[in-house]
């Protein structure tokens, strides 16, 4: 009898052990398959591709600067993939078709919020992408040749109204941010100036220095040395707030052009349906990069400062508002972007 009882007890113990082993295994599996809310388990586990829809140089320089810092903090390489062509459309379209898993991102510039007004695009910035993280912004500088008898923004406006069309302003090309910044100025003030487009910053600025054009909404970094040398006169910056790079200059809004804002800027977007947890992870590491003193110093040398802070949803709304603003300016000014 004792032997039978011992055998029965042994069977019961074995069954109990088997039950708890099976329960622990199931619980462990369920726990592993249920990520904690708001987190992105094990992202990233491999390299991330950052599409820059422009050739090396320019915006590519900013992208590589941020990518290096993110590589260090994420622990996985951020690989720059230059896909230039069609004013950024080719690379951006490629990004819109990528898997929404966080391993393909797109480096966006202010110019990409202008292209929707140029023609029908194979993507929609607000429909096919998630605004992920702002990177940097660079205000433009309203500058005039010293021969112009205007020392303030209000004096320039008065001069343009007194002699409609007599003052010529340079831009880096039709439909560029330097062109549309001037058209925004004209629409808000009633100032009448004549547009003279050039192929790039160098030719446009050289013509301004020579006095063959009288004004320009120029890129800050190349313009500042000429302002300091007295070869150009700076009247205001185009950003909503004063720039830390030239804090003594008023904004156009402070100078009387209420609501004025225009700037070059950069950011990162992700294909739509990318999980929110992954978007937040990328955004957090971009923010960490922009808080790095070394990066801020390098950006300042190029005429840029951090843009933001903004949450992913706030950055998405910013992209949408910029797209709507420039579309309206192009339509109202009847700008022919094919010239």
Q: How confident is the model at residue 118 (pLDDT cuts 50, 70, 90)?
A: confident
Distance in Å from the first CA to the final CA of the chain: 104
Question: How confident is the model over 306-321, as a mean pLDDT?
Answer: 94
The reply to whether domains 48-138+263-332 and 139-237 share a CATH topology is yes
CA-angle at 7, arms to 3 and 11, nearest 5°? 170
| Span of 29-38, 142-151, 178-187, 292-301 with lowest mean pLDDT | 29-38
The whole-number average pLDDT for the span 312-328 is: 96
The answer to whether residue 105 scores a pLDDT higher than 90 is yes
Q: Where are the domains of the chain?
A: 48-138+263-332, 139-237
Q: Which pLDDT value is given to residue 339? A: 53
**CATH T-level topology, domain 139-237:** D-Maltodextrin-Binding Protein; domain 2 (3.40.190)
Residue owning tokens 């708001």: 38
Determine the CATH number of domain 48-138+263-332: 3.40.190.150
User: Cα–Cα distances in Å, from 195 out to 165, 166, 178, 330?
Assistant: 9, 11, 11, 14
Residue 41's pLDDT is what?
A: 60
Q: How confident is the model at residue 324 (pLDDT cuts 50, 70, 90)?
A: very high
What's the Cα-to-Cα distance from 46 to each of 39, 75, 245, rounded to whole Å? 17, 9, 37
Can you give the length of the chain in residues? 339
Give the pLDDT confidence score for residue 34 in this predicted structure.
36
Residue 38 has pLDDT above 50, yes or no: no
pLDDT per residue over 121-154, tens digit each? 999 999 999 999 999 999 999 999 999 999 999 9
* Percent of the chain residues past pLDDT 90, beyond the cut: 80
Residue with tokens 């903004």: 310
pLDDT at 4 over 70: no
Residue 157 pLDDT exceeds 70: yes
Q: What is the pLDDT of residues 12-34, one digit of tens each?
A: 434 434 433 433 333 333 333 33
């Amino acid at each position: 009898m004792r032997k039978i009882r011992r055998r029965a007890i042994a069977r019961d113990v074995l069954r109990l052990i088997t039950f708890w082993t099976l329960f622990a295994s199931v619980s462990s599996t369920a726990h592993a398959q249920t990520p904690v809310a708001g987190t992105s388990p094990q992202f990233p586990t491999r390299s991330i591709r950052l599409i820059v829809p422009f050739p090396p140089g320019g915006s590519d320089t900013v992208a590589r600067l941020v990518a290096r810092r993110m590589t260090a903090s994420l622990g996985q390489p951020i690989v720059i993939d230059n896909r230039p062509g069609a004013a950024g459309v080719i690379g951006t379209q490629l990004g819109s078709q990528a898997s929404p898993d966080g391993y393909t991102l797109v480096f966006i510039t202010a110019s990409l919020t202008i292209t929707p007004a140029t023609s029908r695009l194979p993507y929609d910035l607000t429909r096919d992408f998630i605004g992920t993280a702002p990177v940097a912004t660079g205000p433009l500088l309203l500058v005039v040749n010293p021969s112009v008898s205007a020392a303030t923004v209000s004096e320039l406006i008065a001069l343009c109204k007194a002699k409609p069309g007599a003052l010529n302003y340079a831009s880096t090309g039709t439909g560029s941010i330097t062109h549309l910044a001037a058209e925004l100025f004209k629409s808000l003030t009633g100032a009448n100036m004549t547009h003279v487009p050039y192929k790039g910053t160098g030719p446009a600025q050289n013509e301004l220095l020579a006095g063959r054009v009288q004004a320009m909404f120029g890129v800050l970094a190349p313009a500042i040395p000429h302002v300091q040398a007295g070869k150009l006169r700076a009247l205001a910056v185009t950003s909503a707030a004063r720039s830390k790079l030239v804090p003594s200059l008023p904004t156009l809004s402070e100078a009387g052009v209420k609501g004025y804002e225009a700037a070059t800027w950069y950011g990162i977007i992700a294909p739509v349906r990318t999980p929110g947890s992954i978007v937040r992870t990328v955004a957090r590491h971009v923010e960490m990069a922009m808080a790095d003193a070394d990066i801020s110093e390098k950006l300042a040398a190029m005429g840029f400062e951090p843009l933001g802070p903004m949450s992913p949803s706030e950055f998405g709304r910013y992209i949408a508002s910029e797209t709507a603003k420039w579309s309206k300016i192009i339509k109202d000014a009847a700008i022919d972007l094919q010239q």
